[in-house]
Amino acid sequence: MSETATPILEVRGLRSGYGGVTVLKGLDMDVGNEVFAVLGANGAGKTTLLATLARLIPLQGGTIRFRGNEVSGLPAFETAGRGVGYVPQEKGVFADLSVFENLCVGGMIGQRDRDERMAEVFGLFPDLAALRTQLAGTLSGGESRMLACGRALMQDPKLLLLDEPTAGLSPLYVDMFFEKVREIRATRGVSIILAEQNATKALAVADRVMVLSLGEAFLTEETGSLTTEKLKQGYRI
């Protein structure tokens, strides 16, 4: 992100966690018009961060500003209505609804014609068009990931949060999904925060990267300047 660009997301002193346990410990970050990768070892706080940004976990301290407005205390549905799309690592679809019905749920948020948005999602994920009448609970892991992402895109988000979207997927689906991240960024101009275990793949699509270590930002820098040694230090290898 250039120094003159206005961030779409500004986070200051963010503290959050579960059941009284603090996972994120005073995190600062800015995200602009870019793909922003969040890397780190298991337990570093990646999932907690994205769930907190999506307003599914209350803040213990700090502030979140989205498109210039503070959203720290807003419920998840209102944050989504303002343009934050969230794809959780698991359980991102309604198993008892069809593919089409899942996409319609996403389409309840957003101003553009629903059929126009649906056509865009089917253009991005052609497999979903062929599966439109199938129950989401019967999809493969890769198909379910596509549907969860497509449902989030139906909301016409300005910022898309992807929490380890390739976890547990076959290499074929991993490669496909990262290509789709590139395509979403290029064709829709959506800012993307991508939390990933697959550092190599994430760095190939990201403009900048933040390495989390035990709930704190070990480093944040341009992807091209990140060395293997710095990455190892962040992962405490």
Range name among 3-7, 170-174, 200-204 with the lowest pLDDT average: 3-7
Q: Which runs of E-coded beta strand occur in 155-207? A: 159-163, 191-195
In a domain, 69, yes or no: yes
User: What tens digit of pLDDT does each residue of 26-48 get?
Assistant: 999 999 999 999 999 988 999 99
Give the DSSP H/E element, type plus range, for residue 21.
strand 21-31
Give the DSSP H/E element, type plus range, for residue 38.
strand 35-39
User: Are 110 and 156 spatial neighbours (Cβ–Cβ below 8 Å)?
Assistant: yes
Closest by alpha carbon to 120, among 76, 85, 152?
Answer: 152
Give the DSSP H/E element, type plus range, for residue 13.
strand 9-18
Residue-level pLDDT at 3: 46
Give the chain's domain count: 1
In a domain, 112, yes or no: no
- Provide mean pLDDT across the span 211-235: 92
Q: What is the pTM of this model?
A: 0.95
Full residue range of the structural domain in which residue 171 is found: 9-91+156-234
- Provide mean pLDDT across the span 17-27: 93
- Provide mean pLDDT across the span 136-158: 95
In a domain, 174, yes or no: yes
- In angstroms, how far is the first alpha carbon of the chain from the final one? 28
In a domain, 73, yes or no: yes
Structure tokens at 72: 């720290």
Average pLDDT, the chain: 93
User: What tens digit of pLDDT does each residue of 67-102 get?
Assistant: 999 999 999 999 999 999 999 987 789 999 999 999
Residue-level pLDDT at 237: 57
In a domain, 227, yes or no: yes
In a domain, 212, yes or no: yes
Residue-level pLDDT at 157: 97
Domain holding 193: CATH number?
Answer: 3.40.50.300
- When pLDDT is cut at 50, 70 and 90, the band that residue 2 belongs to is very low
Residue-level pLDDT at 4: 43
* Chain Cα centroid distance, residue 163: 5
In a domain, 82, yes or no: yes
User: Are 174 and 201 spatial neighbours (Cβ–Cβ below 8 Å)?
Assistant: yes
